[in-house]
Structure 1
């Protein structure tokens, strides 16, 4: 079945419940995506598993997406080992009461994923009796994958890689890392050193080179040839000068 056919089949199985089918972007890896009401979450997974045309017998993964004021999207991916097609099922839970039915009784492999989603997003899965901490220590407070969760590193130290102006009190950005042997911006020509990039071996801001420029002799005019400087020990213009006694002897 094509992704479009899979989506239409899920919608037909859930009727008269209103569900919306679409296709996720991914070209050859595109998947049918069906948005279902919160109250029909478990029914949608059961239909995808038990229907002979869908036969999604393999539970792949489950997670969530923080949509801020709109709530959380809980997403599950199922796969059919017989027909070689998959489907993404998605439902939205309100932020004030983030509760959705557990599907562990349908897919036992969902237990680990529901525990992680509960821990990272604070979403409760009704009917799951083992929502104990999975990755974080028991004393940890908060849900790290919620968008309002403040990273401890941002509080302890100003973030140097601010994306928006004024986000970081420290200002500036991260210092660019140069490959070995590449001179700093202030070590050649008059290229100004960027703000916040001053360091060892770099010239001051404003284009002053860190190394003094060497003076080179002026080039001769085209068509002229500079006079050669006599070598040390040369004797006048006599081509025989400088020869030894053996060279000047009789033939």
Structure 2
């Protein structure tokens, strides 16, 4: 697999091996071609999964796992997209099984898969705003209710010595703070 990928993509791809699994990294312009080549040129007929990995501050990595059942070979395909405008061509025309995975990655990370046949929310309620698997997404439940698995004294609220309550990373300073008398939330 490694030689075939290096021959086809040259310096446009980085191929690495880890624990018997080959990983291929390409730019977004080569994404659709790489996925098609994995199926048609490398024999990876089995699509397993596709997801995103938030890599702030610049990018989101889209990762797909495919498999060649004849050779018992696993292949990870990766590309990075800009966090500001995350978009890739859809691979549903290559692997129909990617449909659900692209919808989930769209919803959880905000990656727009151009050409997807039905790119609509899959798991979250109607009207939900934001992308909950991005690292900058504020988990309001962590602010509104104390974490039950407290490790520091005073975090659990069970009478131990108290410390200043520390907000989870990325939470605005005024979240969870009651408004002072005469203070409005809008100004």
Select which of 4, 27, 37 maps to 1:9: 4
Question: Aligned to 2:49, what secondary structure does the other structure show?
Answer: strand
> Shift in Å at residue 160 of structure 1?
5.7
* TM-score, L = length of structure 1: 0.59
Question: Aligned to 2:96, what secondary structure does the other structure show?
Answer: coil
CA contact under 8 A between 1:8 and 1:21: conserved in structure 2?
no
CA contact under 8 A between 1:99 and 1:124: conserved in structure 2?
yes
CA contact under 8 A between 2:90 and 2:116: conserved in structure 1?
yes
Alignment partner, residue 94 of structure 2 = 106
Distance in 1 separating the partners of 2:77 and 2:32: 10
Distance in 1 separating the partners of 2:7 and 2:47: 21
The residue correspondences of 1:184-203 to structure 2 (distance < 5 A) are 196=160
CA contact under 8 A between 2:62 and 2:80: conserved in structure 1?
yes
| Residues 64 and 91 of structure 1, relative CA distance in 2, 3 Å threshold | same
Distance in 2 separating the partners of 1:65 and 1:95: 11
Aligned pairs, number: 161
Q: Which deviations, in whole Å up to 9, do the C-alpha atoms of 1:106-161 show, x marking residues without a partner?
A: 11110010000000001100100311111111211111101011112122124465
Q: Which has the higher strand share?
A: 2
Alignment partner, residue 172 of structure 1 = 154
Report which structure shows greater RCO (CA 8 Å, sep ≥6). 2
Distance in 2 separating the partners of 1:45 and 1:87: 10
Alignment partner, residue 55 of structure 1 = 43
The higher radius of gyration belongs to 1
Is residue 23 of structure 1 aligned with residue 23 of structure 2?
Answer: no
* TM-score, L = length of structure 2: 0.78
Is residue 44 of structure 1 aligned with residue 8 of structure 2?
Answer: no
Question: Aligned to 2:57, what secondary structure does the other structure show?
Answer: helix
The residue correspondences of 1:1-251 to structure 2 (distance < 5 A) are 6-15=1-10, 18-24=12-18, 27=19, 30-51=20-41, 54-159=42-147, 161=149, 172-174=154-156, 196=160
Distance in 1 separating the partners of 2:100 and 2:3: 30
Distance in 2 separating the partners of 1:94 and 1:9: 28
> Shift in Å at residue 14 of structure 1?
2.3
CA contact under 8 A between 2:147 and 2:156: conserved in structure 1?
no
Distance in 2 separating the partners of 1:147 and 1:68: 7
Question: Aligned to 1:89, what secondary structure does the other structure show?
Answer: strand
